[in-house]
């Protein structure tokens, strides 16, 4: 794809910290930010709201095709039920295909005249933007990711159980990594950032150092 915008991709498993890193980096560099997971969530939410069957591929593709930027800010996207439905539509190759253009357009023509875009997700460096200028793959051991998710939910006042969260993350890792289309995997040229033993500040510094070097 020929483009003049700078594209940075940040992929990784659930709760590795990629969203925090991506948002920070985008803000720092004045780039537009796209949480690609929200597209799958918005697809699922549109489908649920229209009363469609979550296993109906045609209805799911219609929902994906109708997504508007405002849909990505809906607070309902974060609901547990929407997350589960999102993982189902995300396994449909037709839905992934339908959302590909949205993501590539965002990277090629970042909104509000931004000179670059940061995309985070599972396959942004491998499938969506294989020619990205800098690719990161952010990970952490599952126990640490579960611990962070537990603290995050507890801080929100939710009644959570540590063992259930750990089991849920393991299940989601397995589903994301083993699906036939665009499974979670680092791009060959991605910088691997393991945040298991890193505080957010150190992780952010390591990511920025890598990006600076790549863009120099
Ligand atoms: O990161 P998240 O929990 O918001 O993602 C929601 C679902 O979408 C999750 O099942 C993984 C999937 N997803 C994907 O398949 N590809 C992406 N680029 C981003 C998310």
- Strand partners for 193: 138
CA of 216 to the centre of ligand 1 (A): 31
Could you read off the pLDDT of 138-162 as tens digits, one per residue? Answer: 999 999 999 999 998 899 888 889 9
Length of the chain as a residue count: 216
3-state secondary structure 122-164: CCHHHHHCCCCCEEEEEECCHHHHHHHHHHHHHHCCCCCCHHH
pTM: 0.93
pLDDT given for residue 2 in this prediction:
64
Domain coordinates in residue numbering, the chain? 12-196
What is the model's pLDDT at position 173?
87
For residue range 62-96, what is the model confidence (pLDDT) as tens digits? 999 999 999 999 999 988 789 889 989 999 999 99
CA 215 from centroid of its chain's CA atoms: 22
What integer pLDDT is reported at residue 156 of this predicted model? 84
- Contacts of the segment 68-75: beta carbons below 8 A, 24+ positions apart: 69/111, 71/42, 71/45, 71/46, 72/35, 72/38, 72/39, 72/42, 74/42, 74/45
Residue with the nearest Cα to atom 8 of ligand 1? 37
CA-proximal residue: ligand 1, atom 1 (nearest): 37
Q: How far is the CA of 78 from the centre of ligand 1 (A)?
A: 12
Which segments in the chain show pLDDT lower than 70? 1-2
CA dist 7 and 3 (Å) reads 9
| CATH code linked to domain 12-196 | 3.40.50.300
Ligand 1 center to 211 CA (angstroms): 23
Structure tokens at 119: 């995309």
| The predicted structure's pLDDT at residue 183 | 81
Pocket test for ligand 1, best of 121, 149, 168, 175 (most atoms within 8 A of CB): 121
Instruction: Please report the pLDDT score of residue 181 as a whole number.
Output: 82
Q: What secondary structure, in 3-state letters, does 80-123 show?
A: HHHHHHHHHHCCCHHHHHHHHHHHHHHHHCCHHHCCEEEEEECC
Token pair for 175: 């589903």
Q: How many CB atoms lie within 10 A of CB 17?
A: 22
Q: In this structure, which residue's CA is closest to atom 10 in ligand 1?
A: 87
């Amino acid at each position: 794809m020929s483009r003049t915008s700078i594209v940075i991709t940040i992929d990784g498993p659930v709760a590795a910290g990629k969203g925090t890193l991506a948002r920070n980096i985008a803000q720092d560099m004045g780039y537009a930010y796209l949480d690609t997971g929200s597209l799958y969530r918005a697809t699922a939410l549109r489908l649920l709201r229209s009363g469609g069957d979550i296993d109906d591929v045609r209805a799911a593709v219609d929902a994906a095709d109708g997504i508007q930027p405002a849909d990505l800010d809906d607070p309902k996207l974060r609901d547990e039920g929407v997350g589960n439905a999102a993982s189902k539509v995300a396994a449909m190759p037709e839905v992934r295909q339908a959302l590909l253009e949205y993501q590539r357009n965002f990277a090629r023509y970042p909104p509000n005249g931004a000179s670059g875009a940061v995309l985070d997700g599972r396959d942004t460096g491998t499938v969506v933007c294989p020619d990205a200028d800098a690719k990161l793959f952010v990970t952490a051991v599952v126990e640490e990711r579960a611990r962070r998710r537990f603290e995050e939910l507890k801080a929100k006042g939710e009644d959570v159980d540590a063992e259930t969260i750990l089991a849920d993350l393991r299940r989601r890792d397995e589903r994301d990594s083993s699906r036939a289309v665009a499974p979670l995997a680092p791009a060959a040229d991605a910088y691997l950032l393991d945040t298991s033993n890193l505080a957010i500040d150190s992780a952010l510094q390591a990511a920025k150092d890598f990006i600076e070097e790549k863009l120099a």
